[in-house]
């Protein structure tokens, strides 16, 4: 599957957020191309550029799995096709 996605994770900081999110991606053979993390206000904010070329699941299935992880650890995880950001922010 030729597709890249932007995954954003926002929520209250706690131990293990990065490990749970990246672990789920690895389980589904999603490669991480770029990862940035910062604290905005009091919120943990992480952004990943993920390559779904070898992924075992579709973007929507990935979103469903990450939704489960997100609700377990109390963060909001959004998966969006990279096309959106490319068309909005790059001419």
Partner 1 sequence: MSYTVQEVLETIRMVETEHLDIRTVTMGIHLDDCRADTLSATKARIRDKILRYADRLVPTVKNIEREIGIPVVNKRISVTPIAHAIPGLDEEGYIEIAVQLDSIASELGVDFLGGFSALVHKGMTPSARMLIAAIPSALSVTTRVCSSVSVASTKAGINMDAVYLMGRTIKQAAEQTADRSGLGAAKLVVFCNPVEDNPFMAGAFHGFGEPDAVINVGVSGPGVVLSALKNLGEDVDFGTIAETIKRTAFKITRVGELVGRKAASELGVAFGIIDLSLAPTNAMGDSVAQILEAMGLERCGTHGTTAALALLNDAVKKGGAMATSYPGGLSGAFIPVSEDNGMIAAVEAGALSLSKLEAMTCVCSVGLDMIAVPGDTTAETLAGLIADEMAIGMINKKTTAVRVIPVPGAKPGEMAEFGGLLGRAPVMEMVPFSSSGFAKRGGRIPAPIQSLTN
Contacting positions for partner 1 (CB under 8 A): 6, 8, 10, 34, 36, 38, 40, 45, 47, 49, 59-60, 63, 78-90
Segment holding 76, helix H or strand E: strand 75-81
CB of 67 to partner 1, least distance (A): 11
In the complex with partner 1, the residue whose CB is nearer, 34 or 68, is 34
Beta carbon nearer to partner 1, 18 or 85: 85
- The residue among 16 and 38 lying less far from partner 1, judged by its C-beta, is 38
Residue 49 phi/psi, 5-degree rounding, is: -100, 120
Q: Is the separation of the CB atoms in 1 and 58 below 8 Å?
A: yes
Q: Which two tokens stand for residue 18?
A: 């990065």
Dig out the tokens for 40 from the structure: 């905005």
């Amino acid at each position: 599957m030729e597709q890249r996605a932007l995954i954003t994770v926002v929520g209250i900081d706690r131990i293990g957020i990065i490990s749970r999110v990246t672990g789920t991606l690895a389980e589904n053979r999603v490669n991480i191309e770029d990862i940035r993390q910062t604290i905005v206000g009091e919120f943990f904010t992480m952004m990943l550029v993920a390559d779904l070329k070898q992924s075992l699941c579709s973007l929507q299935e990935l979103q469903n799995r990450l939704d489960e992880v997100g609700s377990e650890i109390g963060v909001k995880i959004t998966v969006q096709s990279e096309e959106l950001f490319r068309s909005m922010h790059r001419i």
